[in-house]
Structure 1
């Protein structure tokens, strides 16, 4: 009897990312494998993988996100903790697979975390990394301009804040209730490959996210029309990597 797995994500692009992660794990790891979800946020990915039979530990340094993750969790094979990856290494914990989804772009020094994850991953394990494309449509036309406006505290920024408040935008996402979700790193495909090599990994598989769905005014329409989200993801698959909104990748230890 086939079990139907439900999604907590509504957006097609988010589901596409989750499917990439799930498929990569199922190709490489046994059903009861130990999986570490680093920077798990509200635990959406952890809970989804738990439904697939994996034993998942979701960690985050944000107490607010872990509190939210625990409140939503009903699975005995999934647990959450407010702890850093460094402390797990110190405890000697080791995992069959590690998820690092939409995390590296928030870190001033991504290599510091990757060195820790290398130690936490079994020799034949798999690390799954997803990041926005720093040269993709969303980062070029939304993220970078917004960060620049905020830094200058210009009138366009104050207007953006007013509009967001009027629309009920809180700054958090379905994935994370953390206070600060700023992007401080902007990776292109070559950057990601170099980062993996510098930290003794190799990327064995790449995937693409969406195309222009996240860019206003397309985002305003697409979020209401799922068929447009689906089409946007298909367009991203057909275009060169530089046009995708985000990268999905599977890493293995190089030595």
Structure 2
């Protein structure tokens, strides 16, 4: 079920900004297609809840693939229809059918892979002429990864999480009543999450650019997604729409090294030759 005319509220991670940037890239590709119909692939689509179901419109064909079975089971039960499908396969299997896609989405997936170069090479091989690969990835040295590392530090991490929980519980009960409770209730309780598939890559800007270019892709656009994010920022500020908007807006004027995550829009080098 497409939800192109809807979108989730922004969060501290810039997830809604990410979807908007993906849509803008998709429309740029659409403008070069005579039929206007696009084939879109979302590699590592998860449950389809946050990104996949918001991307396509009209008669676009979109396929989400993910290797975690509960994700695909959830996506198929909630969102699939004739034009929006989900499959629990390795994206490399699509090469056997000589598939091509006009837009390929890699949303927050490369940091989870032991060999991110392989999936970028696969995306390159699956990309149709004049198509786009759109990528989001955390800044491996940015605020998000720093907060995450602190939250996992022995003794300090659990202590800070406990203090944060106490402060938020007090605020939710006495100051901004039920703000955090209401926010938590927006996310479906049955939404699957692969807790065993954490980050194994912590890219510097030069590193992620290098592996993108090694695959035969060239970067057309790079953008910052958000400034502050991570478990503590999310816990304190998730209910605040004003903070979330400021957090994504200010990221646009910050140097790349200060962003929590980056967006890349890429094309085949030979398309511009």
TM class, shorter-length: 0.7 to 0.9
Aligned residues: 244
- Pairwise CA RMSD: 3.0
- The 10-residue stretch of structure 1 (96-105 or 117-126) with the greater mean CA deviation from structure 2: 117-126
Aligned residue among 221, 224, 244 for 2:239? 224
- The 10-residue stretch of structure 1 (122-131 or 172-181) with the greater mean CA deviation from structure 2: 172-181
Corresponding position: 1:207 with 2:240 = no
**1:1-255 pair list within 5 angstroms:** 5-8=5-8, 10-11=10-11, 13-29=14-30, 30=33, 31-44=36-49, 45-51=51-57, 53-140=59-146, 142-147=147-152, 149=153, 154-156=154-156, 177-214=193-230, 216=232, 218-255=233-270
Preserved CA contact (<8 Å) 2:227 2:247: yes
Preserved CA contact (<8 Å) 1:42 1:175: yes
Task: Return the index of the structure with the highest Cα Rg.
Answer: 2
Between the aligned partners of 1:52 and 1:243, the Cα distance in structure 2 is 38
Between the aligned partners of 1:144 and 1:173, the Cα distance in structure 2 is 26
Q: Which runs of 5+ in 1 are unaligned?
A: none
Preserved CA contact (<8 Å) 1:134 1:187: yes
Offset of 1:176 from its aligned partner?
5.9
Q: Which runs of 5+ in 2 are unaligned?
A: 170-180
Calculate the TM-score normalised by the size of structure 1: 0.84
Between the aligned partners of 1:201 and 1:173, the Cα distance in structure 2 is 39
Between the aligned partners of 1:239 and 1:253, the Cα distance in structure 2 is 28
Preserved CA contact (<8 Å) 2:10 2:244: no
Between the aligned partners of 2:218 and 2:189, the Cα distance in structure 1 is 30
